[in-house]
Amino acid sequence: MKSKGWLKYSGIAVLGAGWLVSGHLHADVVSSKGYSVEDFTLRNAEDLVDVCTVEANHPDYALAMTFCYGFFEGATHYDDAVSATEWYTDIVCDPPDTTRSQAVDVFVAYMKANPQYGSEPSIDAIFRALVDKWPCE
pLDDT by 10s per residue, the chain, length 137: 544 444 434 444 443 444 444 333 333 333 335 777 787 888 999 999 999 999 999 999 999 999 999 999 999 888 889 888 888 888 899 999 999 999 999 999 999 999 999 999 999 999 999 999 999 97
With a CB cutoff of 8 Å and minimum separation 6, the contacts of 16 are 63, 66, 67, 70
pTM: 0.73
Coil, strand or helix: which one is 15? helix
* CA 24 – CA 78 distance, rounded (Å): 28
- Span between the terminal Cα atoms of the chain, in Å: 14
Sequence letter at residue 59: P
* CA 29 – CA 27 distance, rounded (Å): 6
